[in-house]
């Protein structure tokens, strides 16, 4: 598998887990907060190891990456909605 395929696999696994929690009756806001907390813990580990912490510049970089990723996701969602409204298949956007 290439990096994109692995990325999509990991994302899919997290979404599946989040959906499982939702089916168990947990509030989607709580699930989202949990995913964000886990992401923050893991980005710290991936960047600084188990015993490290992020410097302010590392926190700023993580925030920038998260912001850019969220903007990209929202742009893709807008394109999907526009394609659906226009009667097109959103899968054609890929």
**Whether residues 40 and 3 fall in one domain:** yes
Q: How confident is the prediction along the chain (94 residues), in pLDDT tens digits per residue? A: 899 999 999 999 999 999 999 999 999 999 999 999 999 999 999 999 999 999 999 999 999 999 999 999 999 999 999 999 988 876 765 5
List phi, psi (to 5°) of 25: 100, 5
Residues 39 and 80 in one domain: no
The domain in which residue 20 lies consists of: 1-52
State the pTM of this model: 0.78
Q: Is the C-alpha dihedral spanning 54, 30, 9, 64 positive or negative?
A: negative
User: Which pLDDT score is estimated for 94?
Assistant: 57
Residues 32 and 74 grouped into a single domain: no
Q: How many domains does the chain have?
A: 2
Asked if 46 and 59 sit in the same domain, the reply is: no
């Amino acid at each position: 598998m290439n990096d994109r395929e692995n990325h999509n696999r990991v994302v899919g696994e997290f979404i599946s887990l989040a959906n499982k929690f939702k089916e168990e009756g947990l509030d989607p806001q709580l699930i989202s907060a949990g995913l964000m907390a886990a992401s923050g813990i893991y980005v710290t580990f991936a960047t600084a190891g188990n015993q490290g912490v992020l410097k302010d510049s590392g926190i700023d970089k993580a925030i920038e990456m998260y912001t850019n990723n969220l903007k990209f996701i929202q742009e893709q969602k807008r394109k999907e909605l526009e394609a659906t409204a226009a009667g097109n298949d959103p899968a054609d956007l890929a």
